[in-house]
């Protein structure tokens, strides 16, 4: 049973700074959104406790390592400096006698995949060629839904964030347990992607960021083979957008060529709220990468190259956060599709209700008011009525 379906007021949280109580204040975070925005230094000292304690308990670096004699990793915004024998914040990149490598080994990754039939539950579903025919006939096989065809869903273990609400949290264990069923080679992935019934390959997880060199190498081979055989293989990315911009540009080039979509999850506008929820302040890098991908939109108007999403975490990703993100997107390019997603309690953030209908529909209207032309609502089946905004 979802918590928001229980008796109203049963899960009342309290802000340890201002003393406010509400069913949209998480005791796991320990502070309210207002204090996070107005008193970020004090508030984050409290909010970061749950991240640090949990990561230490599970053998993960509590913060991105910055060892003076380590080796710097430049894959993402964390820019970990990893000591010999140590791991990066993601748990995937290790320092092996002074050389950084993937924990799975050369040309391998901690990854699994499965065939997901179209239409599928994808963040970009409202604009996806497989369900909307956008980009037909170059980027989709049929006019209409690609029934009988599949998305190859490529799930990576490990992530460069520590989201309290992660709905795929099991990925964190994959780089440590190293089950042989979760270690695969580049050639294995390419072979799976070249299945004639597969029309798109979508990388997610976790996040593709820590495994990006593996994913890019596989994607280039898949794209080349698709050109040679004159078949459709869209390459898509579902990511937090924290990659090194040089890497993001390469991701965008592949998606641009193949008809794929880059789906960037913009978790919060306020740096303190972003960090309270994820353990990291990645706001400026996300903005930078959104601008970068958006600069390529006009090179391929259909289907959209970029989709941005935001999870409406009750009490934290409120109407202010949505308005600021939507205004930012509209200023860059009002054609950027924006998807608002319903939250449900999971992982460590289990003391908040589901996103309320009031929250979702008001956020939708606000996003539309900014001038964005395509705003969508996702996970509507999750919505509850435990609070109003």
Question: How many other CB atoms sit within 10 Å of the CB of residue 314?
Answer: 26
pLDDT in tens, 16-53: 999 999 999 999 999 999 999 999 999 999 999 999 99
Residue 6's pLDDT is what? 39
- Helix 319-332, helix 283-294: angle, nearest 10: 30
Asked if 124 and 236 count as a contact pair (C-beta separation under 8 A), the reply is yes
State residue 151 phi and psi, 5-degree precision.
-95, 130
How confident is the model over 160-182, as a mean pLDDT?
86
State residue 67 phi and psi, 5-degree precision.
-70, 130
Question: Would the pLDDT of 132 be above 80?
Answer: yes
Q: How many CA atoms lie within 13 A of 167 on its CB side?
A: 9
How far apart CA 222 and CA 286 sit, in angstroms, is: 27
Q: Which residues pair with 339 in a beta bridge?
A: 309, 376
DSSP string, 128-145: -HHHH-TTTTTS-SSSS-
Helical residues (DSSP H) of 184-312, grouped into ranges: 186-193, 212-229, 245-258, 271-278, 283-294
How confident is the model over 93-116, as a mean pLDDT?
95
Q: How many CA atoms lie within 13 A of 2 on its CB side?
A: 16
Structure confidence at residue 181 as a pLDDT band (50, 70, 90): confident
Confidence (pTM)? 0.95
Residue 1's pLDDT is what? 31
Beta strands, E only, the chain: 13-14, 21-22, 71-72, 81-82, 93-96, 99-102, 108-117, 150-156, 183-185, 198-205, 234-239, 262-265, 306-312, 338-342, 375-378
How many angstroms separate the Cα of 27 from the Cα of each of 16, 49, 211, 333?
A: 9, 11, 33, 38
How many angstroms separate the Cα of 369 from the Cα of each of 68, 123, 310, 342?
A: 49, 22, 17, 20
- 93-102, 178-187, 242-251, 322-331, range with the lowest pLDDT: 178-187
Asked if 86 and 71 count as a contact pair (C-beta separation under 8 A), the reply is no
Question: Would the pLDDT of 4 be above 50?
Answer: no
pLDDT in tens, 61-96: 999 999 999 999 999 999 999 999 999 999 999 999
pLDDT in tens, 366-375: 999 999 999 9
**357: its two tokens:** 């209908």
Write the DSSP symbol of residue 194: T
Residue 7's pLDDT is what? 41
Buried b (16+ CB within 10 A) or exposed e, 111-150: bbbeebebebebbbbbbbbbbbbbbbeebbbbeeebeebb
Strand order of the β-sheet with 150-156 is 183-185, 108-117, 150-156, 198-205, 234-239, 262-265, 306-312, 338-342, 375-378
Residue 150's pLDDT is what? 97
How confident is the model over 369-385, as a mean pLDDT?
96
Q: What is the dihedral of CA 380, 384, 385, 388, to 10 degrees?
A: -60
Residue 236 CA to its chain's centroid (Å): 12
Residue 207's pLDDT is what? 95
Question: Would the pLDDT of 8 be above 50?
Answer: no
In the chain, the domains with their CATH numbers are 108-382 (3.20.20.70)
Mean of pLDDT over the chain: 94
């Amino acid at each position: 049973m979802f918590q928001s379906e229980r008796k109203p007021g049963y899960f009342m949280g309290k802000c340890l700074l201002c003393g406010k109580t509400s069913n949209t204040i998480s005791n796991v975070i320990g502070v309210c959104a207002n204090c996070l925005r107005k008193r970020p230094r004090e508030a984050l000292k409290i909010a970061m406790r749950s991240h640090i304690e949990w990561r230490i308990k599970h053998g993960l670096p509590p913060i991105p390592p910055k060892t003076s004699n380590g080796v710097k990793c430049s894959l993402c915004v964390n820019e970990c400096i990893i000591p010999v024998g140590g791991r990066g914040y993601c748990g995937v990149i290790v320092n092996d006698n002074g050389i950084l490598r993937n924990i799975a080994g050369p040309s391998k990754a901690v990854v699994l995949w499965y065939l997901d039939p179209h239409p599928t539950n994808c963040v970009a579903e409202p604009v996806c060629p497989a369900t909307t025919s956008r980009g037909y006939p170059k980027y989709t096989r049929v006019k209409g839904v690609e029934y009988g065809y599949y998305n190859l869903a490529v799930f990576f273990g490990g992530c460069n964030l520590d989201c309290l609400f992660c709905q795929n949290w099991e990925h964190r264990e994959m780089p440590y347990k190293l089950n042989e069923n979760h270690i695969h080679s580049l050639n294995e992935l390419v072979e799976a992607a070249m299945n004639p019934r597969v029309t798109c390959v979508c990388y997610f997880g976790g996040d593709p960021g820590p495994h990006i060199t593996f994913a890019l190498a596989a994607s280039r081979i898949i794209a080349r083979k698709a050109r040679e055989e004159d078949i459709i293989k869209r390459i898509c990315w579902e990511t937090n957008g924290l990659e090194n911009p040089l890497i993001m540009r390469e991701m965008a080039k592949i998606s641009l060529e193949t008809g794929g979509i880059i789906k960037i999850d913009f978790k919060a506008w306020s740096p303190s709220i972003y960090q309270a929820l994820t353990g990291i302040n990645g706001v400026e890098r996300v903005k930078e990468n959104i601008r970068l991908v958006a600069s390529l939109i006009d090179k391929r108007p259909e289907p959209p190259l970029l989709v941005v999403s935001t999870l409406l975490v009750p009490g934290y990703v409120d109407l202010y956060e949505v308005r600021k993100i939507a205004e930012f997107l509209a200023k860059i390019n009002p054609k950027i599709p924006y998807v608002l997603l319903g939250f449900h309690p999971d992982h460590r953030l289990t003391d908040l209700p589901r996103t309320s209908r009031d929250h979702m529909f008001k956020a939708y209207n606000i996003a539309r008011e900014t001038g964005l032309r395509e705003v969508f609502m996702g996970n509507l089946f999750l919505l509850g009525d435990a609070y109003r905004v």
